[in-house]
Structure 1
Amino acid sequence: GRIRQVRGVTKTFTTIGDTTGRISRGQGEVTRAGIYCRLIDLGERKYSQFESMTDARRILVDYPDLRAAVQDVAAISASGFRQVMIDLNLRGPEMGKLAEYSQRITDWMRSHGSYVDVDTSLSFRKPEVRIVPNRERASELGVSVQAISATTNILVGGYPVSTYKEADQQYDVWLRADLGFRDDAVDIARLTVPSTKPGVGVVELGNVSDFEEAQGPSTIERFSRQRQVVVSANLEGKALGEGVDELGAFVRTLDLPADYRWEFIGQAKNLNDTMANFVIAFGLAFLFMYMILAAQFESFVHPLTILLAIPLTIPFAILSLILLRTSLDIYAMFGLFMLFGIVKKNGILQVDYTNVLRRRGMARDPAILEANAVRLRPILMTTVMLVAAMIPMAMGEGPGAASRAGMAKVILGGQVLSLLLTLLLTPVAYSLWDDLTILLFRGGAWLGWTEPAVTAAAPQQEP
């Protein structure tokens, strides 16, 4: 009832129990439940889904005995799959050690307010009876550990022995002891196991085993033949990259033994992979742009002059995201690549017209001043047009607008903040590179190099 009072919630749907028990025996969890909420359309409310999720978390604080989390509905519905921002995978041979390490990690995360919905895949809430074979007594009575294991597995856990078909449906036939013979430790102790010792026949399980009642894990997950525990959480007021870095730094301080491993999976892993691929893509884009410009200008120097402004736009793009409180997601990265092309275009206009004026016989410095004065107007026109086009996308509302806004804000802020710098940097870089080229040719005169000269051509009418 209290969830329905969260602002924006129009409908709720409750599920109790994990239906995976229908697929694989023993996996159902009657202590698990979920409440799915439907919100009113985005166009009819002034607050975001994340604000409604925060309101729901405030309600769950009143139920400390619950292991609860507020999250998006998973795009893929599967057992154990959660739509969370951070998933940390811990792997190792001993479940007790994994439980200890995961507890230390979750305690640290809960002590930092930015981590919410902190939980682990490990849950010691399933009552169980542990059967510990007494090897000495079992050996005296001719009972093997394998016989104890097989007996308890079949009579207590059950085992499929056959199938039968009714109409067009096929059902498994399970062999299992009646509930009265497996209801508690006393009943299980009366079960008999075969003995290989002559004259003994069968032995009660209680004579060759000790019984302990304890709380065990609901499921034991494995990854790459190792036991695993997944620590999961969402973030509030902190970027995913920052949260991952801080958590990773803390896990390193635990000094895990050599046979224990940890790694981020899910969205956190995708972020790390995306950043690595972004660096590779940026390097390849820079290389391809240089090759094309070198072919167009028939020079190895002028492309450097044009591309020099591109790395300087990245800090301005990041600054715009910080000022506009937007995270660096995949859409923002697309916007960065578009920003590279826009900045490169401005440099091409400046350098190309400077070369045109020098071919007409104008000296270098006057040509630089003239070219930048003439090309300032088209550069400002395209910049204003681009900024005007990006404003609606950056401020847009409706489904999916928040994702697309990142791309628009990168282009908008990066172009506006870096415009003045690129207008000043390109002519200065052109002059410096030209001086360096002349100096290199003069210094290499003993190799027979000749200083490049600009041949005055007949005046041409500017197109």
Structure 2
Amino acid sequence: GLIVVSIAQIGKPVGRSDSFFLGSGDHIAGVRVELVPSDSRSVRTQELLKAWREETRLMAGIESFTVIEEQSGPPGREIDLRISGQSLDDLKAAALEARALLERFPGVSDINDDLPYGKQEAIIEVTPRGRALGFTTESVGRQVRNAFEGAIAKRFARGDEEITVRVLYARDSLSEADLRGLYLLSPSGRQVALAEVVTFREKTGFARIRREDGLRTASITAEVDERVNTSDAVIQALEQEGLHALMRQYGASAEFRGKAEEQERTIGDMKLGALIALISIYMILAAIFSSYVRPLFVMAVIPFGIIGAILGHLILGYDISVLSLVALLGLSGIVVNDSIILVRAIQIRADAGESMIEAIIGGARDRLRAVILTSVTTMFGLLPLLFETSLQAQFLKPMAVTIVFGLMGATMIVLVLVPVLLAVQGDIAALFARYWSFGATRREKPGA
């Protein structure tokens, strides 16, 4: 079978950590299922989840039904829309509108919000008669709370411990009749029945209320089937559909969190890291070649390596992921190796007295085999990972695709581009030399 063990739970949500905000109570239930290892079954997890959703028939009164899988990688859900506002009713209405908007996109499932309705609540409001007797909302609430949660009657010390005596109703016999039959003590010292000074009404409240930066918030989460759609495309489409204008109708603001937030932060950090890496490579090459211009020719091959990596993802049908971007940083340091080998050989010949064209032709001929072998050995080292079929290897495949195809494209280009750039540098240097020589000759003639 597919299932190793299944555990049903009533009273608390199951699943990921963000399910905590759904609250607790006998109106919540869940089932946790552990499947056999992925290599031991032919049915993929996404196929099982899809069949589970299609075969489930919801009973009347079910507010939300979610089937999600445990995932590794960046924290958060694929879609995590945070709505902030002041009014809970407006937040709930905005959340329902956002959920209806998400349902229009293909590949989006398990849409839910963390502002679910909870149990029935008894709302107590002081009547004008009660206020005339001196009761306030605060005094009524305090006496009702003390009756059911207990009031501290006395504290005394016993050895090193402090003993607290709390007086309250027996918890096992509490009922709605006990609440309505409760007597309150008025400011004048008279005992008055609670039902004579307040009115009762019932309302379905919210199971749990979240606050961030002093504002009440609601989170709308959803999963995206990457085979049908992407989270970036869904987020972009939501903004084009007027999501923020919709939220403003309810006096709320919206922003995306979860994996979208983590991805944006990661890309920002990687941009800074890429800038530092490129500057470091330039400084090292400038010290090696004793030139400020030649390192630019060596590094000119880096963009072509990136083009090769993008074509590799396109050919093999992989999306560019965060791991692909990480591999691009490593690729930038790898592809310059071929350029260093070639430029160094040309520089040695030029320093020996050969003309620039002869040095370029001779250096390229001498280092052709070394350049090819440097790239081929690296590519062959990653081929086993590229052709691995296990599910664990699928996570790392974009990295292998980036490096293999990036090196493949850069190696072909470096044998043509770098010699051409060096020849251009030689021509420009010769042009400037003739200009300065001509200028020096003209300055010498008047003094002759």
Which residue in the other structure is 1:93 paired with?
Answer: 86
Q: Which residue of 2 aligns with 1:72?
A: 69
Larger RCO (CA under 8 A, 6+ residues apart)? 2
- Which amino acid is the alignment partner of residue 46 of structure 2? F
Contact 1:190 1:206 in 2 (8 A): yes
Pairing 1:344–2:336 present? yes
Q: Which residue of 2 aligns with 1:301?
A: 293
Amino acid across the alignment from 1:233: A
Provide the C-alpha distance between the structure 2 equivalents of 1:225 and 1:173, rounded to a whole number of angstroms.
36
- The correspondence for 1:363, drawn from 331, 355, 375, is 355
Deviation at 1:259, TM superposition (A): 7.6
Q: 2:284 aligns with which of 292, 302, 312?
A: 292
Q: Distance in 2 between matches of 1:187 and 1:269?
A: 50
Q: Is the 8 A contact 1:72 1:83 kept in 2?
A: no
Deviation digits for residues 232-266 of structure 1 (CA, Å, limit 9, x no counterpart): 11110234444444445553343538984443333
Deviation, structure 1 residue 113 = 1.6
Residue of structure 2 equivalent to 1:461: none
Q: CA deviation at 1:38?
A: 2.0
1:62-461 aligned at under 5 Å gives the runs 65=62, 67-73=64-70, 84-134=77-127, 136-156=128-148, 158-159=149-150, 161=152, 176-177=168-169, 183-184=175-176, 188-196=179-187, 198=188, 201-237=190-226, 238-247=229-238, 250-254=242-246, 256=248, 260-398=252-390, 400-437=392-429
Query: For 1:381-407, what per-residue CA distance to the aligned partner results, in whole angstroms no more than 9, with x for missing partners?
Result: 232222222121122244632222221
CA deviations 1:357-397 (Å, max 9, x no partner) are 22222222333233333323222223222222212112224
Q: 1:364 to 1:254 in 2, by over 3 A?
A: farther
Indicate how the Cα distance of structure 1 residues 180 and 337 shifts in structure 2: closer, same or farther if over 3 A, else same: closer
Q: Which amino acid aligns with 1:192?
A: Y
1:15 aligns with 2:9: yes
State the one-letter code of the partner of 2:214.
R
User: 1:71–1:84: 8 Å Cα contact kept in structure 2?
Assistant: no
Task: Describe the shift of the 1:159–1:59 C-alpha distance in structure 2 as closer, same or farther (beyond 3 A).
Answer: farther
Inter-CA distance 433–221: structure 2 relative to 1 (3 Å threshold): same
Per-residue deviation, residues 108-153 of structure 1 (Å, max 9, x unmatched): 111112221110101114222222334x444311112211221233
**Alpha-carbon offset, residue 279 of structure 1:** 0.6
When structure 1 is superposed on structure 2, of 424-433 and 272-281 the one drifting more is 424-433
C-alpha contact 1:15 1:33 (8 A) present in aligned 2 = yes
**SS state of the match for residue 396, structure 2?**
helix
**TM-score in terms of structure 2 length:** 0.81
Give the structure 2 partner of residue 43 of structure 1. Answer: 39
Aligned partners of 1:143 and 1:193 also within 8 Å: no
5+ residue gaps, structure 1, are 1-6, 77-81, 164-169, 449-463
Q: Deviations over 1:420-454 (max 9, x none)?
A: 33433323333334444555667778999xxxxxx
- Residue identity over aligned pairs, in percent, reads 21
Asked if 2 retains the 8 angstrom alpha-carbon contact of 1:71 and 1:83, the reply is no
* Distance in 2 between residues matched to 1:253 and 1:366, nearest whole Å: 67
1:209 and 1:440 map into 2 onto residues whose CA distance is 97
Distance 1:99 1:276 in 2: 33
Query: Comparing 273-282 with 232-241, which one deviates more in the overlay?
Result: 232-241
Distance 1:128 1:396 in 2: 57
Provide the TM-score with structure 1 as the length reference: 0.79
RMSD: 3.7
The total of aligned residue pairs comes to 423
Rounded to whole Å, the distance in 2 between the matches of 1:442 and 1:201 is 113
1:34 aligns with 2:36: no
Task: Say if 1:285 and 1:131 are closer, same or farther in 2 by CA, change over 3 A.
Answer: same
Q: Residues of 1 paired with 2:300 and 2:118: CA distance?
A: 61
**Displacement after TM superposition at 1:32 (Å):** 2.0
Task: Work out the CA distance in 2 between the residues paired with 1:408 and 1:419.
Answer: 16
